[in-house]
Chain A
Amino acid sequence: MADVKLLGGLRSKVGATALKLEAETIRALLDELVERGGQALTVLFFEDPMADPLMPHRDLRILVNGRSMSFLQGLDTPLEKRDKVTVHLTGTRGFPGG
């Protein structure tokens, strides 16, 4: 069971602030969230929900124990029991930020 924490607008979209989910990878964890929150979440999670392979949406940020999946194995990052997973959407476009 991974401890999943949702931030910002995802809370209302999924209907939860925190969850405990069984998932072996981040990809499987996102499937679980879609199962709970509805298919509309797929457009937030994936660049093209119909593509194969699926690519994470540019706005999607997932941390495993505080470490971005960008520096792990992306959607294929394995999850262990008691891992702390944080899911949020950033949605910045500019440079340098403010």
Chain B
Amino acid sequence: MSDGGWTGTVLRVDLSSGEILRESLPATWARDYVGGRGVGARYLWEEVDPQVDPLAPENRLIFATGPLTGTNASCGARYMVITKGPLTGCITTSNSGGHWGPELKFAGYDLLILQGRAERPVWLWILDDRVELRSAEHLWGKGVFETEDRVRQEVGIADCSVASIGPGGENLVRYAAIVNDKFRAAGRSGVGAVMGSKNLKAIAVRGTGGVHVADPGALMAAQWAQKEVLSKAPLTSEGLPAYGTLALMNVINEHGALPARNYREAQFEKAEDISGEELAATRLAANKACFACTIACGRVSRISDAGVGRYTLHTSPRNWRHATEGPEYENAWSLGADCGVSDLDAILKASTFCNDLGLDPISLGATIAAAMELYEKGVLSDEQTGMPMPFGSGDALVAMSEATGYRRGFGDELAAGSKRMGEKFGHPEVFMGVKGQEFPAYDPRALQGMGLGYATSNRGACHLRAYTVSAEVMGEPEPMDPRATDGKAQLTVDMQNISTAVDAAGLCIFLTFGNTLSDLTPLVAAATGIAYTDDDMIRAGERIWNLERMWNLRAGVEPSEDKLPRRMLEDAIPAGPAEGEVSHLDRMLPEYYRVRGWGEDGRPTSAKLAELGIG
């Protein structure tokens, strides 16, 4: 093992037998895969048959930190959940911030690997070397907020960090989330359902140690340099603290790239009503940061006076009246514009249900939007849905969000996700996503690069794997025409590799709104004592990406799944700045495979795998 960054210890808990083991983290894996998403993927590669039923005891649920998690590097708060996702059948890597990841490191562990299935509901308590499984019979059925409060009471340590599932995970909603610190979540692809399938309600962790680093002086110098860049970049020093990621709502709408009403439109006429500017002016109580973050994009928001009574919240962070956290851009879009809803109070209420019941707001909102389309087409009746659910109904949004977590009434259909739901009702065309996972908040017809990124993402449609918006909208590192396809394959590959390396390091991807890889590599080198270069980090990202791809191929997810829905390819955007545009994925995908060094069939070649050391 190296001199720092990693603890070198992996905690393994077999929920079937109750056995708790401590193992050494293989040093070569740590070096080659850096940590977090990379090392977790390597464990999954070694230990899990890709054909496994995601909800079977044989699937692993891996919580992985990176070498910078828990250090004083800005945004070093992240952990990644790696497993086979029940929404997609792909490897999934779902990321969260808050304080849980740092606490796991402080307790002395890089990774926590969970396997098997407990006979009865349990929760896991980690206090440094003391690790024990406790009965969770009294917690089963509770929401995340109450679960966290009761666990903290039970252990008598108010500032331990708790990651748990709500009824969504217990009820195996295919896009159930794992939520920590009440409002931070590993949200996508159904990691919460995997946790629920293992009868594991919560993992509370408190560590009293620190993170040993190889060269403290070099780390201090590198983190000061990193933070200076973040403090000077306008978005990370002003835009995100003031408006959060919701600053994007008006920007993307003005570009004509904001999907509305299940991607039938690419502008929302009421975007201003659900924008960061509106939230800041009418509902924002404060911003909030994760561990060691100097950006603080989190929102603490109040329901408006008009909304109290109609959308009352039963949580009051820091004792603010009728307050909650969020919304971020993605959930304001999915629960808002995509459903045609312009009532921020309804969005805040639905978003809070996502936190308390443990649901991914992107997939939830997109699935409700697909159901609203079916309702408006007359495919679904009031009798089936239990209430009118036209586009724009905040009441339907809120009611369906709650019903989905408990799988009550029509919520049981929504719990399957929009792909399965659409197929069941004979209308698969309402699914807007890739590999079973719903799109996020950027129309790939208006932003060509995003379409390629969605189609090739290893975990299904995702904006965090290759954020070409950076070049296509924000003009960094240089402006690229959003409607052009030239250069988008190279851009996508570069962004995928670098984003993967950032994930592996245990950092938040949002710092790349300010930092470049050259700001981050010295942090990893100083923490681990390994003289990583930028090229080494990019190569590690490429290695992880190819390993995930190979795992998916073995799971039966063929390259033919690198595709977009017909609506994106054939139905032109009806109005707005990008009117008439469709996605030209067919022009970009062959080039993408070539830039990746893969065969024309979309499979990594044996030469590429050998080059990356993937056997």
Query: Which A residues lie at the B interface, using CB under 8 A?
Result: 5, 7-9, 11, 17, 58-59, 61, 63, 65-68, 70-71, 86, 88-98
Contact = CB atoms under 8 A, between A and B. Distances in A.
Residue from the set A63, A90, A93 with the largest chain B CB neighbour count within 10 Å: A93
A94 B234 contact: no
B582 interface: no
A66 B256 contact: yes
Interface of A is mostly: loop
Contacts of A65: 577
A94 to B, nearest CB: 4
Interface of B: 229, 232-236, 238-239, 242-243, 247, 250-251, 254-256, 276-277, 464, 466-470, 473-477, 479, 481, 494-495, 498-499, 508-517, 519, 576-578
B254 A66 contact: yes
Contacts of B238: 9, 91
Contacts of A89: 234, 239
A59 B255 CA distance: 16
A13 to B, nearest CB: 11
Contacts of A58: 475
A10 B511 CA distance: 23
Given A9-B239, A66-B578, A86-B254, A97 B467 contact: yes
Given A8-B243, A94-B511, A63 B470 contact: no
A71 B482 CA distance: 10
Given A7-B250, A67-B577, A91-B235, A98 B512 contact: yes
Q: Ordered nearest first, which 5 A-B pairs have the shortest CB separation?
A: A66-B577, A91-B234, A97-B470, A98-B509, A96-B495
B499 to A, nearest CB: 6
Contacts of A8: 239, 242-243, 247, 250, 276-277
Residue from the set B477, B498, B513 with the largest chain A CB neighbour count within 10 Å: B513
A96 B235 contact: no
Nearest to A96: B495
Contact of B229 (A66, A71, A93, A95): A93
A70 B475 contact: yes
6 contacts: A63-B577, A68-B479, A70-B479, A91-B238, A97-B476, A98-B513
A73 B253 CA distance: 22
A71 B486 CA distance: 14
A17 to B, nearest CB: 8
B476 A61 contact: no
B514 A94 contact: yes
Contacts of A63: 254-255, 577
Given A59-B234, A65-B577, A7 B479 contact: no
